[in-house]
Structure 1
């Protein structure tokens, strides 16, 4: 009986050991599977991060290149067509349209980031839009004021000055003739009956000259007022163009840094 009990106990312990061993093996297998799954998942995540970074870099590269192409188009139009780039024949404004494309591409950069690049891009787009706005203001001023100022000078001041010059030259010529006659005849100048008429002619010529000079001052003041207004606008345009040189450099530097980074910033 005792031997039977011992045998049963031994069998039970043997079975328990087998069960425990199997359980430990199963747990070890499970842990190994979990670790393997985690490693695989991490690899997938790492690859996804790399792929996302590559995709983002390519998207940014395309956006930056597109933006700079629009920028170059604006500069080409400024150099070749001038500001504000109107074409009266077609009723279009090429520079304004190019500035619009530049603004659209700046918005795409704003989506892709990073902030430093998108901010510089928006400032450059704003600068071109200000060019269009300022130059349009100059054009409107020129169209409104220059023809009138030029017409006054061309049709008013210039003929008046020419008439005054002619009157003075004619009066002077006749006076010289009168003096020559008096010298030849030995007659005193004031005794010549034509002397009074001659001085009256001089006075009329002087009045014509004074009126022409007064008109020249008036017309000149009008033209000067136009020039002063135009100068203010031109100076504003020059300051805007000078300021964006620094912005362009900031955009280029930030874009290069972003594209060269192994892990480009996302915002």
Structure 2
């Protein structure tokens, strides 16, 4: 009986040791699994951050390439490109590519860079719109003004010639009356001379009215063109500040992570 009790006690201690060992092993395995899982997660974060940084770099680089393309077009052929070439202007096409690449930046972020990119693309598109409006304005006004000026010159010249002739006739009549010393006598040709003078005055008045109308059209054109040019200058000045903001934000975003960055 005593031997049986001792055997049971010994078995109990052995079982306890086994249980304790199993629990310790399980705890160690759990700790090891957690460490491994955290390492995997950390590495995944690093890989994802590296991938995102690379995607952003490519997107920013592509956007700036489109920006440089716009600048080259402006410097070489102007805002509207080659106006004699069929199809859309080269700058409008390049501005469209800027817009597409700005949308990709909007997806990749961050918001500060995306907003600056969108503002730059909008600014270039606005330049194109302003230049197009200026061209349409010139096409509408300049030929009309030139035609009016071309037509007005002969009309004014004819009016002045008619006035000179009427004045000459009136002078001859006045001289004739003075020579005859017949005060109050009206020569027969005086009525025709007065009519000629009145017609000449009407021609002069009409030519002057037309000249004033032409000047009003020119003033209207100049006022609108000046307003568009002022808007273009403001737009370009604001774009310089936006470009600096984009560059600063992009550099900050693409900077290598610090030692404390996970």
Q: TM-score, normalized by length of structure 2? A: 0.78
1:164-175 → structure 2 map (5 Å cutoff): none
Q: Does residue 40 of structure 2 align to residue 17 of structure 1?
A: no
**Cα-to-partner distance string for 1:16-74 (whole Å, 9 max, x where unaligned):** 11111112112111111111111111111111100100100000000001111111111
Please name the residue that 1:187 is paired with.
Answer: none
Please name the residue that 2:95 is paired with.
Answer: 99
1:114 positional shift: 0.5
* Contact map agreement 1:84 1:131 (CA 8 A) in 2: no
Q: TM-score, normalized by length of structure 1? A: 0.76
Q: Does residue 50 of structure 2 align to residue 65 of structure 1?
A: no
CA distance in 2, matches of 1:147, 1:109: 45
CA RMSD of aligned residues (A): 3.4
1:17-56 → structure 2 map (5 Å cutoff): 17-56=13-52
**Cα-to-partner distance string for 1:107-128 (whole Å, 9 max, x where unaligned):** 1000000011111111111111
Structure 2 gap ranges (5+):
169-177, 180-192
Q: Does residue 123 of structure 2 align to residue 127 of structure 1?
A: yes
Q: What is the count of residue pairs matched by the alignment?
A: 242
Structure 1 gap ranges (5+):
175-189, 192-199
Please name the residue that 2:229 is paired with.
Answer: 234
Please name the residue that 1:219 is paired with.
Answer: 214
Please name the residue that 1:115 is paired with.
Answer: 111
CA distance in 2, matches of 1:79, 1:209: 49
1:15 positional shift: 1.0
